[in-house]
Structure formats: structure tokens, C-alpha cells
């Protein structure tokens, strides 16, 4: 049996790191088993779903490198959910209930106050035909609930291990809203069955619903898929991540923080496992190192600092070939292998390459602290052409002329030539700066 998984976001907002992790784990699981990765848009909530979000989700996943093999959207499949509901009605498992949201909330409060679990009391099942007719005549429209049986269901969750929940501990789930539209439990389940999903890998927030869903799979006569419920991401101190969903959207990580997709993948493929986080410079390497069985039940802490650190480590490891196709977009087509190799150890994000390029090309404001030394340095600078040895010859001659060495020699030269205390090796920058610009900078001119 070949593996098929799905990532099923609702296009009611942008993807954030929590979604990205689920998408990635599904993708990696599929790739590792030569299976199929499906993207499914859960867009039955028409008030909150937007096309803009749907397009952003596809864009974000493409940026992340998670190409889907199959695509489905629930708004295309409403007739399938209606048919399934029809079958459940015919078998007596789907029943109309008329309570308003407020009535249900009052019932829940009363149960909690009495120390009881908040479970739907099935009052709707005790309505007589006459009472039902009266409610309908008064304009009430029913929502539809799936009647669970009391028996426990057990499944072997790939993360949580054997898990057992009794139907008697659960509320009959609502499958259809008053307006006839399906809710997640029904639509998601019908999709699993009809689209041949073998493994449902999703967030732990869906764990308790699973027992009800197992009953629904049975009622619809389909095989129960394998489940894996991943622990949710928390922030570095164990708090809820959702509060920062905006700042942690893939868009913000990409556009505002300059995070590399491989940095995110390297981190998210390991968060929630005891394995070390290793920077991977290709998605193939992330796939290679992935193992779902390594994921545990403990909360997975997401720390922005880790992401920034791993981002830098990935940039430092990327060969010129990997970045060459991206240079044009930054207007840096002239950047060659030597420049990349010289500058990359200084990068924490890719677009800083432009900063170093402009340090070489100018104009920059030099910093001259000792005018006398700058004059001396200008006098000792060789004629062009400059090459990779120009810098060491220049500094050697300055050393013997002035007796300076170490910091006293190098710091003023760096400040004059780049206007900064730190940066890439000057032996690589100097030929790019060139003699005229170097002399102008040594004179203190912006060049
Ligand atoms: N649309 C659901 C969600 O975002 C999908 C959950 C699932 O994978 O079953 O929570």
C-alpha cells in the first residue's frame, strides 16, 4: 500500500511556523516513503476563508520547497459531504438538534458547575415529533449531530502510542451546521476516505476528537487511517506560540527576517525530537535525516534565536552554485565565487550580501582616526593591478615603515577602507575597492 498524506490548512489566515512544521513533517514522511503529499484547502468556512490566503499558502509552501503531488479543496467537494451525511441519516446515526449556541453554553456551564464533564446531553434525541415540528414551525433550523456509541476505541498513534478513548466520554460531534454546511469532522473524514489518505499527521489539538472520528470512519464503512498527533510548538519559555502568529508567519520570516527555507526546514524537522538540530544545505539532506518515530510527546519549543543561528550557519555552508541564481534579484550579478566565499562568513541573512557589495563598490563614509597614518598608508599602496596578494604586500610594507602590527595596523586600515570595525577579509575586498577608491577613502573622502 503506498503512503498518502495531506497537509490541510484553512485559508483563514497566513501560514505560521506551527503550520509549516505540520506541512514539513507530512511532506518529509511522504518523500521518505515514496508516497504522495497532498495539499488540501479546508475552505468550507466561507466567512473566514479568502482567495488571498489560499494563494499565499501556495506561495509560502513553494518558497519552503514543499511541492505537493496532489491538490484538493473542500469547497469543490460539498456534494460529497452531503452524500455522506445522507448515508448517515439513512442509517440513523445523524440526528437534528435545535439548541442555540447560548443554550449549549448554558448547559456546559451547568455541567461544569456540578463537577461533570461538559458533554452534550442528547436532549434532541428525546424530542417528540410534535416538539420537533413546533421548533421548526417557530423558525428554528437544526444542526446535525453524529450519534456515538459508548464503547472505547483504541488506535496506535505514531507519536502517542496506543491511545484509548471511550465514546461515553465524548459529545456527539456536530457534522452539519444550521445552514447545511459541513463542519471539519465530516469533510475532513470524507476526504481521507475518498482521496485515499493512509496517514493523518496533524497537531495534538485534534487528538481527543480522534476517537469520535474513528467511529465515523466505521459508520461510513471505510478503513481507519494511521494517526500521528504531533505535540504543539510553544515559544522558548513554554508559552503559547499563537499569540505571535503574525510575527511568525512564513511571510514575515522570509520578507522581514531573511530566513532561508532550509534553515526553517532544518529546525522544524528536528523540533520535538531529541536529535540535534543540524543545518542542512539541501532538502534532500533534510529528507534523508527525517524519522517520524523520533518525535515525542513533549512540547516542542521554538526559539527564534535558534532559527537565526541556524540561518547563519546555512549561509556559511552554501556553495556559490547554490546562491548564484539568486544574485540577479538583488542586483548583484557581478558577485563572483571569491566574493561570495569571502563574505559569507559575515552573513546572518542573504540580503546582507548587498551591504558588503556596496562597501566594495561605494560610496561609503570612511573613518579616519589618525590622519598621519592614513597618509603613510596611501603612499605605500601599490599600483594596479590589484590581486589577492596586494593586501599582504601592502600591510607588510606598512609594518616595516611604521613598526605597527596587529590591531594597531589593521584596525585603522579597515575603518578607512570600509567605514566599519568588522567585515570580510580585506585581501578579497581590496581588489574590488580598487586603487582610486582606496586612496580617496584614505583621504577621508566619501567614495
Ligand atoms: N484544517 C484543519 C486544521 O487546520 C486540519 C487538521 C487536520 O489535519 O486534520 O486544523
Whether residue 401 lies inside any domain: the answer is: yes
pLDDT of residue 333: 96
Whether residue 207 lies inside any domain: the answer is: no
277 Cβ partners below 8 Å, 6+ apart? Answer: 266, 267, 270, 271, 306, 310
Whether residue 332 lies inside any domain: the answer is: yes
Residues in contact with ligand 1 (CB, 6 Å cut-off): 8-10, 42, 188, 202, 206
Nearest CA to ligand 1 atom 10: 9
User: Cα 149–170–83 angle (5° rounding)?
Assistant: 60
Distance (Å) from CA 203 to ligand 1 centroid: 8
Judged by phi (left if over 0) then psi (alpha if -120 to 50, else beta), residue 24 lies in alpha
| 349 in the same domain as 377 | no
Contact between 22 and 250 (Cβ < 8 Å): no
pTM of the model: 0.91
Contact between 348 and 308 (Cβ < 8 Å): yes
pLDDT of residue 208: 87
| 384 in the same domain as 345 | no
Q: Whole-angstrom Cα distance, residue 279 to residue 165?
A: 40
Grid cell 596578494 in the structure block, residue: 389
pLDDT of residue 332: 96
CA 290 from chain centre, in angstroms, equals 16
Atom of ligand 1 nearest to the CA of 10: 1
pLDDT of residue 241: 85
55 Cβ partners below 8 Å, 6+ apart? Answer: none
Contact between 447 and 369 (Cβ < 8 Å): no
Distance (Å) from CA 190 to ligand 1 centroid: 13
Q: Which of 304, 312, 260 is nearest to 286 (CA)?
A: 260
Q: Whole-angstrom Cα distance, residue 442 to residue 376?
A: 9
Nearest CA to ligand 1 atom 4: 9
Atom of ligand 1 nearest to the CA of 188: 9
Atom of ligand 1 nearest to the CA of 7: 8
User: Cα 355–358–364 angle (5° rounding)?
Assistant: 105
Distance (Å) from CA 8 to ligand 1 centroid: 5
Atom of ligand 1 nearest to the CA of 205: 10
Grid cell 459508548 in the structure block, residue: 150
Atom of ligand 1 nearest to the CA of 22: 8
Q: 14-23 pLDDT, tens per residue?
A: 999 999 999 9
Count Cβ atoms below 10 Å from residue 20 Cβ, excluding itself: 25
Q: Whole-angstrom Cα distance, residue 371 to residue 442?
A: 8
Residue by residue, DSSP assigns 133-184 as HHHHHTT---EEEE---SSEEEEEETTTEEEEEEGGGSPPPEEE-TTSPBPH
Distance (Å) from CA 297 to ligand 1 centroid: 19
Count Cβ atoms below 10 Å from residue 135 Cβ, excluding itself: 16
Whether residue 387 lies inside any domain: the answer is: yes
C-alpha cell at 126: 428525546
Mutate to test the pocket of ligand 1, among 25, 188, 216 (most ligand atoms within 8 A of CB): 188
Q: Whole-angstrom Cα distance, residue 23 to residue 67?
A: 10
pLDDT of residue 247: 84
Mutate to test the pocket of ligand 1, among 73, 184, 185, 216 (most ligand atoms within 8 A of CB): 184
Whether residue 163 lies inside any domain: the answer is: no
| 424 in the same domain as 397 | yes
Q: Whole-angstrom Cα distance, residue 349 to residue 394?
A: 32
Q: Whole-angstrom Cα distance, residue 207 to residue 229?
A: 6
Mutate to test the pocket of ligand 1, among 8, 193, 225, 226 (most ligand atoms within 8 A of CB): 8
- Name the residue range of residue 345's domain: 327-357
Q: Which of 305, 298, 249 is nearest to 277 (CA)?
A: 305
Whether residue 390 lies inside any domain: the answer is: yes
Quote the longest CA-to-CA distance of the chain. 108
The residue out of 305, 335, 357 marking a domain boundary is 357
| 426 in the same domain as 375 | yes
| Tens of each residue's pLDDT in the chain, 447 residues | 799 999 999 999 999 999 999 999 999 999 999 999 999 999 999 999 999 999 999 999 999 999 999 999 999 999 999 999 999 999 999 999 999 999 999 999 999 999 998 999 999 999 999 999 999 999 999 999 999 999 999 999 999 999 999 999 999 999 999 999 999 999 999 999 999 999 999 999 999 889 999 999 999 999 999 999 999 999 988 888 877 778 899 999 999 999 999 999 999 999 999 999 999 999 999 999 999 999 999 989 999 999 999 999 999 999 999 999 999 999 999 999 989 999 999 999 999 999 999 999 989 999 999 999 999 999 999 999 999 899 999 999 999 999 999 999 999 999 999 999 999 999 999 999 999 999 999 999 999
* Partners of residue 233 on adjacent β-strands: 300
Whether residue 378 lies inside any domain: the answer is: yes
Distance (Å) from CA 26 to ligand 1 centroid: 12
Domains in the chain: how many in total? 2
Whether residue 333 lies inside any domain: the answer is: yes
148 Cβ partners below 8 Å, 6+ apart? Answer: 167, 170, 172, 173, 212, 215
What is the CATH classification number for the domain harbouring 397?
A: 1.10.10.350
* Partners of residue 421 on adjacent β-strands: none
Nearest CA to ligand 1 atom 9: 202
C-alpha cell at 9: 490548512
Q: Which of 287, 277, 252 is nearest to 25 (CA)?
A: 287
Q: Whole-angstrom Cα distance, residue 157 to residue 151?
A: 19
Atom of ligand 1 nearest to the CA of 201: 8
Amino acid at each position: 500500500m503506498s503512503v498518502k498524506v495531506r497537509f490541510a490548512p484553512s485559508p483563514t489566515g497566513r501560514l505560521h511556523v506551527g503550520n509549516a512544521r505540520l506541512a514539513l513533517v507530512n511532506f518529509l514522511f511522504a518523500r521518505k516513503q515514496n508516497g504522495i503529499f497532498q495539499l488540501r484547502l479546508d475552505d468550507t468556512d466561507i466567512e473566514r476563508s479568502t482567495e488571498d490566503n489560499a494563494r499565499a499558502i501556495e506561495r509560502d509552501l513553494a518558497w519552503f520547497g514543499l511541492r505537493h503531488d496532489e491538490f484538493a479543496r473542500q469547497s469543490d467537494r460539498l456534494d460529497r459531504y452531503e452524500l455522506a451525511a445522507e448515508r448517515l441519516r439513512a442509517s440513523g446515526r445523524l440526528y437534528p438538534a435545535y439548541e442555540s449556541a447560548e443554550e449549549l453554553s448554558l448547559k456546559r456551564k451547568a455541567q461544569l458547575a456540578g463537577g461533570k464533564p461538559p458533554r452534550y446531553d442528547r436532549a434532541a434525541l428525546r424530542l417528540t415529533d410534535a416538539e420537533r415540528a413546533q421548533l421548526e414551525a417557530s423558525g428554528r433550523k437544526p444542526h446535525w449531530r453524529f450519534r456515538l456509541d459508548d464503547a472505547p476505541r483504541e488506535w496506535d498513534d505514531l507519536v502517542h502510542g496506543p491511545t484509548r478513548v471511550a465514546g461515553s466520554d465524548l459529545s456527539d460531534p456536530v457534522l452539519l451546521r444550521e445552514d447545511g454546511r459541513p463542519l471539519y469532522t465530516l469533510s475532513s473524514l470524507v476526504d481521507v476516505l475518498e482521496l485515499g489518505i493512509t496517514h493523518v499527521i496533524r497537531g495534538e489539538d485534534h487528538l481527543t476528537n480522534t476517537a469520535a472520528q474513528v467511529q465515523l470512519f466505521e459508520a461510513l464503512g471505510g478503513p481507519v487511517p494511521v494517526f500521528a498527533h504531533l505535540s504543539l510548538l510553544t515559544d522558548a519559555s513554554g508559552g503559547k506560540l499563537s499569540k505571535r502568529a503574525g510575527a511568525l508567519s512564513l511571510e514575515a520570516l522570509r520578507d522581514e527576517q531573511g530566513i532561508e527555507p532550509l534553515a526553517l526546514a532544518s529546525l522544524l524537522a528536528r523540533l520535538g525530537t531529541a536529535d540535534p538540530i543540524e543545518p542542512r544545505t539541501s532538502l534532500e539532506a533534510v529528507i534523508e535525516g527525517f524519522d517520524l518515530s523520533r518525535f515525542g510527546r513533549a512540547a516542542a519549543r521554538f526559539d527564534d534565536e535558534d532559527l537565526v543561528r541556524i540561518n547563519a550557519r546555512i549561509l556559511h555552508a552554501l556553495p556559490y552554485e547554490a546562491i548564484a541564481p539568486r544574485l540577479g534579484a538583488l542586483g548583484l550579478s557581478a558577485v563572483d565565487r571569491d566574493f561570495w566565499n569571502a563574505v559569507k562568513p559575515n552573513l546572518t541573512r542573504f540580503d546582507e550580501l548587498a551591504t558588503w557589495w556596496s562597501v566594495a563598490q561605494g560610496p561609503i563614509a570612511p573613518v579616519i582616526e589618525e590622519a598621519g597614518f592614513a597618509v603613510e598608508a596611501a603612499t605605500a599602496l601599490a599600483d594596479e593591478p590589484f590581486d589577492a596578494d596586494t593586501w599582504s604586500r601592502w600591510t607588510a610594507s606598512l609594518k616595516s615603515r611604521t613598526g605597527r602590527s596587529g590591531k594597531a595596523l589593521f584596525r585603522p586600515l579597515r575603518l578607512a577602507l570600509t567605514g566599519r570595525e568588522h567585515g570580510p577579509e580585506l585581501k578579497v575586498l581590496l581588489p574590488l575597492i580598487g586603487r582610486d577608491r582606496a586612496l580617496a577613502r584614505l583621504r577621508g573622502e566619501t567614495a
